[in-house]
Amino acid sequence: MKEGDLELLNEIANFENSHDMEKEYRIGWGWRQVRVWPATLSRLFKDGYLENVFKSNSYTGYRLSELGRAVIARESGETVQTSQNQKLDLSEDLFEDVVGHDEVKELLVASLMAEKPVHVLLAGPPALAKTLFLWDIERASGERAIWLVGSATSKAGLWDLVAERQPRVLLIDELDKMNAADTAALLSMMEGGRLVRAKKGRELNLSHLIWVVAATNRLDVLSPELRSRFAIRRLNPYGRDEYLTVVKGVLVRRENVSVEMAEEVAKRLDGRSQDVRDAIRAARLAPQLGVEKAIKLLLGG
């Protein structure tokens, strides 16, 4: 939302409340009635705060959308009940894509189902299914989850995103790369439903709690206060047996490779790589090169 938009929406709401919309403005109001520049209205429409009720060459009729009304209500301190408040309905096959990591699965399910938030941070070297865990949670949560990548947080900023979408779950990949402003917002969001927006001195009470699940390669760059807000689960590189199981599982389930080929790839990589991504690359090249040659070219020697 741009600076001043909320004031505009409030004025529009006042206009709508002081007129009988059904009788006087069945085809919506136009820019002249609310005295807002058409380009601004069209932007508010694009952002979802307005609905387009009527459109002809000479007249565009608008009305506040549900989102627009929700934003106004929220900012004025009223709590808005949304579907986001409902408990997540986590099915048993929530993490069916992830091979192994049984304790992590248990921890995540328990945390997401807890009455009040327990935030979980998955930390560890590459290719240990950290992102896959986040994906599975996103798939199960649908609209109630927001997915963010630390290195590419949106221009609007985390605060606005959360205020507008009111997610129940915040999934943050590459947490270590998140910018300072978003990290500061995150710190307060994780502590309770209250968000204070320093920029305008405005306060916003979220009507619900937020669960944060994040992933990072590096813990050392995170501030102590951020680390302290998470249950930190360190994922260790796969041991040899584990690696074989994971590789077979991933290739068969996710790469549509035959069981025989998956076993061959796993066996030939045994002791030479701990990176599941090597196995995936080998399986993808194998149809052209054969498994042995593919691995030789990929790993050298």
Q: Please report, as ranges, the residues that interact with ligand ATP according to CB under 6 A.
A: 97-101, 126-132, 215, 217, 246, 250, 254, 276-277, 280
Q: Which residue's CB is nearer to Mg ion, number 131 or number 245?
A: 131
Which of residues 40, 131, 205, 274 is near Mg ion by CB under 5 A?
131
| Closer residue to ligand ATP (CB): 126 or 287 | 126
d(CA 222, CA 99): 28
Q: Token pair for residue 287?
A: 């149809």
Taking alpha carbons only, the member of 56, 61, 66 closest to residue 31 is: 61
Q: Are 28 and 52 in contact (CB under 8 A)?
A: yes
Binding segment toward Mg ion, per CB under 5 A, in 17-25, 43-51, 128-136, 149-157: 128-136
d(CA 52, CA 218): 47
Q: Least separation, in Å, of the C-beta of 95 and ligand ATP?
A: 9
Q: Which helix (H) or strand (E) holds 228?
A: helix 224-228
Choose the one of ligand ATP, Mg ion, none that binds residue 98, judging by a C-beta under 5 to 8 angstroms depending on kind. Answer: ligand ATP
In 10 A of CB 272, how many CB atoms?
12
Tell me how far apart the alpha carbons of residues 124 and 94 are, in angstroms, rounded to a whole number: 22
Work out what residue 251 binds among ligand ATP, Mg ion, none; the CB cut-off runs from 5 to 8 Å by kind: none
> Do 161 and 175 contact (CB within 8 A), yes or no?
no
Q: Which is nearer to ligand ATP, 121 or 280 (CB)?
A: 280
What 8-state DSSP symbol labels residue 127?
Answer: S
User: Cα(301)–Cα(117) distance, rounded to whole angstroms?
Assistant: 50
Residue 246 interacts with which of Mg ion, ligand ATP, none, CB < 5 to 8 Å by class:
ligand ATP
Bridge partners of residue 29, in order along the sequence: 62
Q: How far is the CB of 132 from Mg ion (least distance, A)?
A: 8
To the nearest whole angstrom, how small is the minimum distance from the Cβ of residue 145 to ligand ATP?
17
- Residue 52 found at the interface with Mg ion (CB under 5 A): no
* Count of residues that interact with Mg ion, criterion CB under 5 A: 2
Q: Which does 248 bind (CB under 5 to 8 A by kind): Mg ion, ligand ATP, none?
A: none
Contact residues: Mg ion, CB under 5 A? 130-131
